[in-house]
Amino acid sequence: MTLSTSAPPVPAVVRPAPVVELRDVTKSYAGGVHALRGVSLTVEAGELLAIVGPSGSGKSTMLHVIGTLDAPTAGTVRVAGYDVGRLSDAQLSALRSRHIGFVFQHFQLAAGRDAVDNVADGLLYAGVARKERRDRARAALERVRLGHRLDHRPAELSGGEKQRVAIARALAGEPDLLLADEPTGALDTASGEVVMELLHELNAAGTTVCVITHDNEIADSLPRRVRFRDGEIVSDFPAQQASPR
Ligand SMILES: Nc1ncnc2c1ncn2[C@@H]1O[C@H](COP(=O)(O)OP(=O)(O)O)[C@@H](O)[C@H]1O
Ligand SMILES: [Mg+2]
């Protein structure tokens, strides 16, 4: 092997695309409700942030827009580098199943199905075969420390356990981005703390986590707080570092 005496090329520092990039996003509903009024937000890979604001300030609308469940009225939405407005419905479903996990206040579990099935069903659209769906579901339930509740149905689980099943369902798809809308809103304080601990743990393992909450105490426990009022961002602390691009 011959060694070149010239300096090796300096590798370019490639910044990964932000996980979320909203530019001047508005969302209006019929009847003149302006739920989002020109929102710009960048979320980098690995962040753990709160979107916090009073009821009716546009937080859930924001989650639906970031999660590509709803299209904005105007502005651009990029998720995992994709310009969402340019994707077909089928491409959006694929984007969601590959990149985004959802957790909702009221769990959204199927009543007649046990914990493994509830989690495994979340992988249906990711094109995962049945056996692997169930294996991954069990692993995800172990990860949220519900290995002892695999065949329990929602009615046989506490609120905190139901939310952990919902988190397992979200993480079974190995999302880059986890969107949680008031994940502790229906839970007692102790169960809520367990859920928040889990979200911290998933973030530490590499998932970008966005928690939507009206609860200032929960928001203040997270490293970044994006504060909403009347469909606008009124503060973002610590302020997002300016990207060099
Ligand atoms: N599907 C809808 N149709 C009409 N108005 C809506 C709809 N969804 C939300 N809104 C309105 O948009 C505003 C923001 O709502 P939302 O995003 O749910 O706020 P938050 O989650 O902060 O409580 C509210 O005034 C709400 O009534
Ligand atoms: Mg809401």
Higher pLDDT, 104 or 11: 104
Asked if the structure places residue 6 within a domain, the reply is no
56 CA from centroid of ligand 1 (Å): 6
In the reported structure, the alpha carbon of residue 143 is separated from the centroid of ligand 1 by a whole-number distance in angstroms of 34
211 lies in which domain range?
A: 47-70+87-224
The closest-lying atom of ligand 1 relative to the alpha carbon of residue 54 is 22
Ligand in closest contact with the CA of 35: 1
Which of the ligands is closest to the CA of residue 181? 2
141-194 pLDDT, tens digit each: 999 999 999 999 999 999 999 999 999 999 999 999 999 999 999 999 999 999
What average pLDDT does this structure show over 84-88?
97
* Collapsed DSSP state (helix, strand, coil) of residue 224: strand
Q: What's residue 125's pLDDT?
A: 80
Q: Residue 242 has what pLDDT? A: 47
For residue 228, which atom of ligand 1 is closest to its CA? Answer: 22
- Asked if residue 232 is part of any domain, the answer here is no
Distances (CA, A) of 35 to 73, 92, 137, 143, 163: 10, 22, 36, 36, 27
Q: Residue 182: nearest ligand to its CA?
A: 2
Residue 100: inside a domain, yes or no? Answer: yes
CATH code of 106's domain: 3.40.50.300
Q: What share of the chain is helix, strand, coil (3-state, %, to 5)?
A: 35, 25, 40
Mean pLDDT of the 136-140 span = 97
Q: Going by DSSP bridges, is the β-strand pair 177-181/208-213 parallel, antiparallel, or unpaired?
A: parallel
- The percentage of the chain sitting over the pLDDT mark of 90, rounded to a whole number, equals 87
pTM above threshold 0.85: yes
Ligand 1 site, CB within 6 A: 29, 33, 35, 53, 55-61
Mutate to test the pocket of ligand 1, among 36, 51, 61 (most ligand atoms within 8 A of CB): 61
Q: What's the pLDDT at 239?
A: 57
* Cα 158 to ligand 2 centre (Å): 23
Q: Does residue 5 lie in a domain region?
A: no
Q: At residue 15, does pLDDT exceed 50?
A: yes
Q: How far is the CA of 153 from the centre of ligand 2 (A)?
A: 26
- Give the mean model confidence (pLDDT) for residues 84-94: 95
Asked if the model's pLDDT at residue 243 lies above 50, the reply is no
Evaluate if residue 241 carries a pLDDT over 60. Answer: no
* Alpha helices (H) along the chain: 59-66, 89-99, 115-121, 130-143, 159-172, 189-204, 216-220
Beta bridge partners of 100: 177
Structural domain contains residue 195: yes
Atom of ligand 1 nearest to the CA of 61: 17
Rounded mean pLDDT of 203-215? 96
With the C-alpha atoms ordered 234, 75, 73, 96, is the resulting torsion angle positive or negative?
A: negative
Q: Does the structure show a pLDDT above 70 at 16?
A: yes
3-state secondary structure 40-84: EEEECCCCEEEEECCCCCCHHHHHHHHCCCCCCCEEEEEECCEEH
Quote the number of domains for the chain.
1
In a domain, residue 4? The reply is no
In a domain, residue 244? The reply is no
Tokens 């695309």 correspond to what residue? 17
Query: What is the band of 109 on the pLDDT scale with cuts at 50, 70, 90?
Result: very high
- Which distant-in-sequence residues (6+ apart) come within 8 Å of 57 by Cβ? 228, 229, 230, 231
Provide the pLDDT for residue 126.
Answer: 81
Here the tokens at position 212 are 């939507």
Would 234 be classed as within a structural domain? no
Distance 35 CA to ligand 1 centre (A): 6
> Which is the closest atom of ligand 1 to the Cα of 63?
17
